Amino acid sequence: MKSHNQGKSKFKNIFICQQCGKESPKWLGRCPDCQAWNSFIETRVTLSRTPSQLSSRGNRPQELSQVEKGDFPRFHLGFAEVNRVLGGGLVPGSLVLVGGEPGIGKSTLLLQISAMMAENNKVVAYISGEESINQVKLRSERLGIGGKGIYFLSEPDLAAVLECLEELSPELAIIDSIQTMYLEDVAGMP
């Protein structure tokens, strides 16, 4: 079977100082290496993976009919409709994106799910890029959620969030909301 992605190139835009060659993921007014002003220009670079890199990572296409069905354990939440939408509950290692109009109750639902997990002795990390710990505490009190087992962090810097998650090693991590997160090295902060 022929793979359609073998050796396919990806592109990335970087900024290069025309005086000294310093590379940066975003435009800088002054080069930190040579101190030249307005010397950065945007350049598109090619990031390609060779077929051997693809196969060494096990990243090969498979025909869906040939994939064996796995039986994944699920954590059943207290909401029947949420369990139904998730195919029977929350699968460990899965990623779920909750979307909806502002004010519809996404953060409230996520806090309630956090409480259900924590009540079952699961460690939960609740990270917010928008709300303070006091705002979330007020909501938790309104909902009758004590908060034991739920660790809150108000932080939009993804590097700091990942460091926290590595240290805490939670069974459930909630990022509310993902569009507020940024990486220092990546241009285009929200």
pLDDT digits (tens, 9 = 90+) for 114-141: 999 999 999 999 999 889 999 999 999 9
pLDDT for residue 92 is more than 80: yes
Check whether 5 has a pLDDT greater than 50: no
Domain stops at, among 66, 89, 106: 66
**Do the domain assignments include residue 186?**
no
Q: Is residue 76 part of a domain?
A: no
Buried b (16+ CB within 10 A) or exposed e, 94-124: eeeebeeeeeeeebeebbbbbbbbbeeebeb
Task: Say yes or no to pLDDT of 98 above 60.
Answer: yes
The domain of 146 spans: 98-180
Grade residue 154 by pLDDT with cuts at 50, 70 and 90.
very high
163 within some domain: yes
E-assigned strand segments in the chain: 9-17, 23-24, 40-48, 124-128, 150-154, 172-176
Q: Is residue 137 part of a domain?
A: yes
Per the structure, the count of domains in the chain is 2
Check pLDDT > 80 for residue 50. Answer: no
Region 21-37: what's the mean pLDDT? 88
